[in-house]
Structure 1
Amino acid sequence: MRARRYLLLFFLIIFYIPVFAQRDSVGLQDLVGKYGKVAESYPIEKVYLHFDKPYYAVGDTVWFKAYLTYTLNMPSPYSKIIYVDVLNSSDGLVQSLTLPVKDGTSSGMIPLTKELFAQDNYHIKAYTKWMANFDADYFFNKTISVGNAIKPVNTLVDLKREIKNQIPEITANIAFTDQTGAPFGDKKISWVVTSGDEELAKGKGNIEKNGQLNVAFSNTKNADLTKAQLKITYEGADRQEQTKNISLSTIAGAVDVQFFPEGGNLLAGVATKIAIKAVQPNGLGIGFKASITDNSGTAVAVCESQHAGMGAFNLTPQPGKSYKAEVTLADGSHQSYDLPRPQMSGVNLNVNPVDTGRMLVVISADSSYIKKNQNKAFYIIGKAGQVICYAAQTTLTKASYSAYIPTSKFPTGVIQLTLLNSYGQPLSERLVFVKHNDQLSLSVAGDKPSYNNRSKVRLNVSAKNNALPTEGELSLTVIDEGKVKSNENAETTILSSLLLTSELKGHIEDPNYYFRPANKNAYSHLDALMLTQGYRRFTYREVIGNKLPQVFFLPEQGMDITGTLRNNTGMPIKGGSVTLQIPSKFYTTRTVTDAEGRFKFSNLVFTDSSQVVVSAKSNYNSKNLMVMVDPITYPNSGKSLSHADDVLNIDTMMTAYLQNSKKFINSSTTLQEVVIKAKAKPKLTDHTQFSALSGLSSIDARVISGEQLKGCNDVLTCLQTMAPGVTYDPQTQSFYVTRDYNQGKRVPMSIFAQGSPVDVNYLRGIRGDDIESVEVFLRDDLGLVNRTYQTNGVLSIYTKKAPQGTKISVQELQDLLPQPSVAKLSPKGYNVAKSFYSPKYLPGNKSFGADLRSTIYWNPRVQTDKATGKTFVEFYTADSPGNYKVVVEGTDNNGRLGRAVYRFKVQ
């Protein structure tokens, strides 16, 4: 078994001298044993989502399959629920999915309805509750661009940033065109630049007749523009007010140039490889040339970027010398940077991946360090994920040691090599990527060399492990490449995600570049990435010091509903009978409370929006009993980690796709004669209708519409990202005005529902579908609410009312009233994924309309036979001729990952 092979600890003593007993020292086996216990108690889960295509249009459906793994990418047995959050470019939560996991996989869909989605860059985050205990950097993150095919006006944006008199000057040049490509102009506009709830600049202008608009402003406040947006308001082609939001993240600041000595230390007199990484404000690398000189002006090295703004050079720093780098960037700008000052004493670890079969490990130290640490024990530990695959012990007696380590000791993936002293303190660290040709071998072949339109295709799929048939759990998509053009280097794949990006902190540009055989220099560029990218799981300092991570969420084996049964005096009821019902499923189950009156219903299965009834009516004197259901807590997935993959000009990037999407919409739309009857638009509820809130100013109100909250089953979580200028603190369970909270003024906001004050628990028990709107007030100029309730700011929720004249039954009226011994709730249930529709063109069957599909076929559950390793799928081609691209990805029970790409032609 592959897993068993690597779970064994390999102890290879490179240079062995008996270790003398030292006070407070820790033995190598003790250190490895301690780490093993931590790894066993805190297993690391990872999620990967395979999508049917890289981008979409409003009205499409996003199809995906989720893979949940743990140690060495084996299917995780721990969590049985995956959460998928969709955030817009402003980090507002648009939708949240809850998916059941079976055998480490799940599947889902996201309908891109026009009510919830607009043209924008959306950020997909996937995680389990168990993963939320650790660093959110390791959640699955992916950016998906969504275009709008029926948008009457298209734009092409060019952003520039210049420094004038030490003040950043921002210029936006925007070209407006109509649907025919002709200039759209001669329009008045207004614009505003905001970052969070702060207004940075505003103005007015005109779109010229040639469709050109120029907006310029000075960032006099030197504000962080990473999350800033330029909002342009103009009269559209339909004479309706239109807005264009432009992210300013790409010109948020200057290029960041950093220097990374290999092993982490730059030692005087010791030859060291130093990596350079140049990153633009949007998180993408930029090319450079660098000349390194010492403090006397003597040139000592040169360096040129090789890939994604990364490069490296060798330097032996001399005692008493300092060094600087003169860097010229690809955009022509020039800057001088000081290198880290060399340490006069220390030890360092260097690794040279000689080839894919072995690596050369070198330990270097200066004479003073050797003298101080003569005959003391040092350890080298190599681990893959949480598995220690290699451990060695040595002592220092000379300036340099070197030895070869076979890469066969490690699995494919990121390896962390650490040099530690005898106290278990890390001294130097190096990341290395080991690349074996040991992944799951997948292949796809069609039953014909080419096909006609609307003809049947049979694809034969096979999976092998070391040339032997194996049972594979796969997902397969087929797209029309004429409609869906893609950058294969930038693709997120099961290999790039689970082997690379899930192990590293920060944004990885073009992750699939390192896994494509066509890129001949990919392995050397991958080593440059290892020198410059951050990696942190559990550090050895934490292990030795018993500083273990704090756990807030346990792995979920299913949906649980818990609570307490109390009498009307508040005392818990022991041995009380509690019943749970899910009426829509005709499901009933019972349990008995424990000594503290606690009850728990485990591993429940219900879909989103299902009503759940918890009752204690079967108990004696039930009228005096209260069922108190615990609020279901959900982790906050936080904000997007990076906007580096955001597309500035979606219209241009998706031209072919949006043109096809527009044809599809036109071909599927049938106009019928309708009779329009005038109907007064009902007035929405607002604060002016409630005396307690009437002193608030309408000018200060920021409104969240009910449409924005549609589909949200956890309003508390949704408001944390949707409410502008508001921060939620989970420790105090209160909302705060962000600007005051950041300045240390921790006075909570008040929450009102229909004009009456409520606490935060109210938000846990209401669904987004029941909300008409939410008003957010960051100010209360008259102070009537703030002084009365000793708060700062107001959240006011208004629920939907039944249409006038609607009759209500006696039972419905009773349901509205609180009932003793009964609790009704609509918790967030599982989101059910429908089956992908694939048309069948059988002989004699008539079909109407053009078949303009871009995703020709999607199947999230393709399983190869255990004995033969084979299976097949069948589907029909669409109308358009051209090249079809097939992508199949997946894993087996031993954690081997596989991916294959196959193309065929439709004539």
Structure 2
Amino acid sequence: MNYKKILPAFILLFFTCLSVFAQRDTLSLKTIIDRSVKYANDYPIEKVYVHFDKPYYAAGDTIWLKTYLTADIHQPSQISKIVYIDMYNDQDSLTASIKLPVVNGVAPGMIPLPVQSYKQGNYRLRAYTNWNLNFDANYLFTKVITIGNPIDKEVLTNVNFSGGTSPQQGVTVKIFYKDASGRPYADKKVKWRTEASHDETGKGSGTTDANGYLTITLPPTPSITLGASTLFTTLDIGTKNVTNIFPLKSAATGKDVQFFPEGGQLIAGIPVKVAIKAIKADGLGIEVKGTIVDNQGQSVATFASQHLGMGAFAFQPEAGKSYKANVSFADGSQGSYDLPRVQASGITLLAINNDPDNLAVRITCNEVYLNANQNKNFYIIGSQGGFIKYAAQQQINKQVFSAPIPKTKFQSGTLQLTLFGPNGYPVAERLVFIQRNDLLNLAINTDKPLYLHRQPVKMTISAKNGALPAEANLSVSVIDEKKVPVDEDAETTILTSLLLTSDLRGYVEKPNYYFKKPDEKTAADLDVLMMTQGYRRFVFRDVLMGKTPKITLLPEQGITISGTLRNRTGLPIFKGNVRLLIPDKNFSAQTVTNSEGQFKFENVMVNDSTKVTINARDNVNYNSVMLQIDGVTYPSPTRIINLPDERLNIDSAMRPYLENSKRVYNNTHQLKEVVIKAAAAPRRLGHLDQSALIGLSPEPDHLIDGERFKGCTFFVSCLQSMALGLTYIDNIFYVTRDYNAGIRKPMEVYMDGLQVDMNYLQSVVASDVESVEIFFKDGMSGINQRDGTDGVLVINKKKAPKGIPMKLADLQKLLPPPYLVEFTPHGYTPVKEFYSPKYNPARTINTGVDLRSTIYWNPKVLTDKTTGSTLLQFNNADGTGSYRAVVEGIDKDGNIGRFIYRYRVQ
């Protein structure tokens, strides 16, 4: 793909246009542009955005979604044809992984949430392509998915924190306990403990008061430790003990205030705007106000945050002085923070972005810098998505230069302005957000503004590019707002993702606030945001120095199954015959190996859980050949920046939705009379059955049930994603907390009581695993002391039932011939169609009750290229009130858009 064609044809020279440098050690404007073009051409960035049918879910639901994959500046990507979506729980255990084929830059999908598998909590979802994994993990689409579980729930909780405003003051935790009917659990005994990195840091007990409240006072704890801690409480309700888990990051009291001079530096004698950002330990903004004082105690400026802890102030720093801010936070606490050091000599780049038609750019230097760089050339470059949209050259012969840049040169989104000094390297940078009327114009209309419940709806979707009809690929969701209340400011949308957050480093709180109702206030707040965030695409200094990312994974154009054919001595077989067979599809294909004995089947259409057979029988002396299938690398869990989006009090925050979900579950799961006969449950095999492991703790620190490996192709790849508290590096497992502390001893690995190495685990079949036990310490076994290891990993294999004769076919499966391999690759995840009931208007009585919260979901909405519109039809549910329809999508030219429409049901 030729990315150079995306570059605009214009290179604007404003101010004074001069020839190329006279100095030999400088970089010309052409060099900067050429190297940037080459970088964008060689290392294009794909962006993944996922549209969900609603913002949160309950166990038993299905997550309906659609991925949009773009490259360049929102063009439907042709780089990758496969997108992955993984979901982890709050302990970084993989709970779901789907693989979707991308067609024309889009891929619909679904993730079922079985009641038995999903506990209540905050899950971390990430979407990516293989090509994404070559770059900064921040490029992966990430989102917090909150899942409630109201089924058979006997204890509901609500927690809040107070105190801890000083290092000497402990944090008070107040927890309210009630039953499913809302009655408080009064006078109930509670045991509690706190943990940090799996180590117990405190414990105690108490009794709830007459109103169901338990109060716990935690001792003074460093904010960083408290923020990484978890509180476990066990409530005795009489019939049993119920444990609840509360992350303590919201209880952490640490705060930070950062200062961001416009252009990057405080320079003596130059008036400057300084942005501020105040955040709490949980990553959320906190309102702040304060005074800037110099090193002589004189006040030079005052400030106050204007939105989510962010704000700005202006002052003129002086040479030889230092400055600090004395601040007061909204919770009454105070602090003092140093501002960046004042540079005695320097030049900076300023931008004024309040004109809808032009962006005003100003270059300012102080007298010292001017005298040292008189008549030298400087460059300014404006880039979007890594592509240069604007370039100019200026000779410095006075302290202030300014010029307007027409915004028609840019598209809506983040613009990076960079000022290059005489040596051709960047000296100042400013991010601005360009807002133009250039988005895909979407609209929704219905045949009526008011409907009856279950009444059919005719909905027209239209798309225009300017005034012309647009051929667009869209997704539409309709939800019952009474059941699914939405915080619109906090929504992740196709606009917030592709135009804003995907281009910025760090967490952006409530991103849709800047897009929901744009006005002068939101524009001013957005400009402050741009001053406090870092640009994600690339650093010009690295580009000019030739630093490039290390490419280890190539873009996928489809599923590839590959391997090696060898003889019994291990030598590769050249021009060997290898056949692939998919019995379910009655499909087969054949290929021959290369000089290294390698074979490859490309663009294999295979669904998840489908068995594939690789056969090398069509060779001379086939009984003496061996097949080896290449493994699949699964990326390890990565830190996501969205963690501040986690909901703490899920029971109360999602109350309307969870109450409706419980009604749905009760209506669809009618209990039947069950006659229980005494039968002993089969005992699970474990380390206590092995004499060599008796000294380990009776209970492992973590237990992975063998069912979790169902459908897993390569055991070790799945294990590294599921093993809590472990780090997997260079084919070795380590205990994470010890590894991070500098203890780099490998874990000891046992299989059925026998000591094995990691190479042995490569041959383990995932379906044969009964369980995996993880021990951070070796207890009384002496294993680690004897072998110089740290921690013990125990794999228990399933045992065949005794007394059952084995058939020859079963024995052959256990001992397959070396020329034959049967396995289940990670194929495409099947996607069902969203069920939307159709009611007969002639019938006035319908059995059952329609409690749907998602009324309609359609990820395959295509508008007509001639009219730009399409018609959808569906029926309302029994819920009354406001129904909210959202349409998002992209047209064939890469224009993106979003529209919200509401109608009422009575």
TM-score (structure 2 length as normaliser): 0.96
Q: Tell me how far 1:708 sits from its aligned partner.
A: 4.9
Q: Tell me how far 1:539 sits from its aligned partner.
A: 1.4
- The secondary structure found in structure 2 opposite 1:528 is helix
Q: Tell me how far 1:198 sits from its aligned partner.
A: 2.4
CA distance in 1, matches of 2:395, 2:590: 65
CA distance in 1, matches of 2:231, 2:341: 41
State the AA in 1 paired with 2:159. V
Partner of 2:744: 746
- The secondary structure found in structure 2 opposite 1:83 is strand
In the TM superposition, what whole-angstrom CA distance separates every residue of 1:806-844 from its partner, at most 9, and x where no partner exists? 554311211111422222322222211211111111245
CA distance in 1, matches of 2:67, 2:804: 44
State the AA in 1 paired with 2:821. A
Pair 1:625-2:642 in alignment: no
Pair 1:277-2:262 in alignment: no
In the TM superposition, what whole-angstrom CA distance separates every residue of 1:305-344 from its partner, at most 9, and x where no partner exists? 1111110011111122222222111112121222122110
In the TM superposition, what whole-angstrom CA distance separates every residue of 1:516-550 from its partner, at most 9, and x where no partner exists? 22655111111000000121322122112111110
Give the conservation status (yes or no) of the 8 Å contact 2:288–2:304.
Answer: yes
Give the conservation status (yes or no) of the 8 Å contact 1:125–1:637.
Answer: no
Partner of 1:879: 878
- The secondary structure found in structure 2 opposite 1:607 is coil
1:489 and 1:769, CA in 2 relative to 1: closer, same or farther beyond 3 A?
farther
Q: Tell me how far 1:739 sits from its aligned partner.
A: 2.8
Judge which range, 42-51 or 846-855, deviates more.
846-855
CA distance in 2, matches of 1:191, 1:343: 53
In the TM superposition, what whole-angstrom CA distance separates every residue of 1:219-269 from its partner, at most 9, and x where no partner exists? 5576533332111122347x2332111111112341111000011110000
State the AA in 2 paired with 1:900. F
- The secondary structure found in structure 2 opposite 1:558 is coil
The within-5 A match list for 1:738-777 is 738-760=736-758, 771-777=769-775
CA distance in 2, matches of 1:589, 1:562: 13
CA distance in 2, matches of 1:743, 1:36: 43
The within-5 A match list for 1:290-309 is 290-309=290-309
Give the conservation status (yes or no) of the 8 Å contact 1:715–1:764.
Answer: yes
State the AA in 2 paired with 1:879. D
Give the conservation status (yes or no) of the 8 Å contact 2:700–2:773.
Answer: no
CA distance in 2, matches of 1:507, 1:714: 34
Partner of 2:828: 830
- The secondary structure found in structure 2 opposite 1:684 is coil
The within-5 A match list for 1:433-582 is 433-517=433-517, 520-582=520-582
State the AA in 2 paired with 1:851. D
Partner of 1:593: 593
CA distance in 1, matches of 2:85, 2:200: 32
Partner of 2:698: 698
Give the conservation status (yes or no) of the 8 Å contact 1:565–1:572.
Answer: yes
Pair 1:65-2:66 in alignment: yes
Partner of 1:224: 225
1:3 and 1:525, CA in 2 relative to 1: closer, same or farther beyond 3 A?
farther
Partner of 1:147: 148
The within-5 A match list for 1:349-498 is 349-498=349-498
Q: Tell me how far 1:762 sits from its aligned partner.
A: 6.1
Partner of 1:160: 162
Give the conservation status (yes or no) of the 8 Å contact 1:122–1:143.
Answer: yes
State the AA in 1 paired with 2:293. T
Partner of 1:110: 111
- The secondary structure found in structure 1 opposite 2:813 is helix
In the TM superposition, what whole-angstrom CA distance separates every residue of 1:563-613 from its partner, at most 9, and x where no partner exists? 211111111111111112222222211111111111111111212222222
State the AA in 2 paired with 1:44. I
CA distance in 1, matches of 2:16, 2:636: 48
Judge which range, 794-803 or 849-858, deviates more.
794-803
Give the conservation status (yes or no) of the 8 Å contact 1:714–1:763.
Answer: no
CA distance in 1, matches of 2:664, 2:741: 52
1:864 and 1:806, CA in 2 relative to 1: closer, same or farther beyond 3 A?
farther
CA distance in 2, matches of 1:535, 1:253: 29
Partner of 2:75: 74
Give the conservation status (yes or no) of the 8 Å contact 1:767–1:826.
Answer: no
1:4 and 1:222, CA in 2 relative to 1: closer, same or farther beyond 3 A?
closer
The within-5 A match list for 1:125-144 is 125-144=126-145
Give the conservation status (yes or no) of the 8 Å contact 1:483–1:660.
Answer: yes
CA distance in 1, matches of 2:709, 2:328: 48
Partner of 1:644: 644
CA distance in 2, matches of 1:355, 1:805: 84
Give the conservation status (yes or no) of the 8 Å contact 1:513–1:519.
Answer: no
Partner of 1:904: 903
Judge which range, 663-672 or 647-656, deviates more.
663-672
How many residue pairs match? The answer is 903
1:443 and 1:529, CA in 2 relative to 1: closer, same or farther beyond 3 A?
same
- The secondary structure found in structure 1 opposite 2:529 is helix
Give the conservation status (yes or no) of the 8 Å contact 1:9–1:388.
Answer: no
State the AA in 1 paired with 2:37. G
Considering only aligned residues, what root-mean-square deviation do their CA atoms show, in Å? 2.2
Q: Tell me how far 1:9 sits from its aligned partner.
A: 4.7
- The secondary structure found in structure 1 opposite 2:80 is coil
Judge which range, 857-866 or 208-217, deviates more.
208-217
CA distance in 2, matches of 1:176, 1:320: 59
State the AA in 2 paired with 1:285. G
CA distance in 1, matches of 2:768, 2:842: 48
CA distance in 1, matches of 2:750, 2:582: 30
1:672 and 1:253, CA in 2 relative to 1: closer, same or farther beyond 3 A?
same
Q: Tell me how far 1:208 sits from its aligned partner.
A: 3.0
1:326 and 1:527, CA in 2 relative to 1: closer, same or farther beyond 3 A?
same
Partner of 1:344: 344
CA distance in 1, matches of 2:484, 2:763: 42
Q: Tell me how far 1:557 sits from its aligned partner.
A: 0.9
Structure 1: gaps of 5 or more residues: none
CA distance in 1, matches of 2:91, 2:360: 46
Judge which range, 882-891 or 325-334, deviates more.
325-334
1:745 and 1:294, CA in 2 relative to 1: closer, same or farther beyond 3 A?
closer
1:211 and 1:36, CA in 2 relative to 1: closer, same or farther beyond 3 A?
same
Give the conservation status (yes or no) of the 8 Å contact 2:566–2:626.
Answer: yes
CA distance in 2, matches of 1:859, 1:3: 36
Give the conservation status (yes or no) of the 8 Å contact 1:132–1:637.
Answer: no
Judge which range, 266-275 or 365-374, deviates more.
365-374
Give the conservation status (yes or no) of the 8 Å contact 1:61–1:110.
Answer: yes
Pair 1:892-2:891 in alignment: yes
- The secondary structure found in structure 2 opposite 1:604 is coil
1:700 and 1:658, CA in 2 relative to 1: closer, same or farther beyond 3 A?
closer
Q: Tell me how far 1:642 sits from its aligned partner.
A: 3.5
Give the conservation status (yes or no) of the 8 Å contact 1:73–1:896.
Answer: yes
Q: Tell me how far 1:769 sits from its aligned partner.
A: 5.9
Give the conservation status (yes or no) of the 8 Å contact 2:502–2:536.
Answer: no
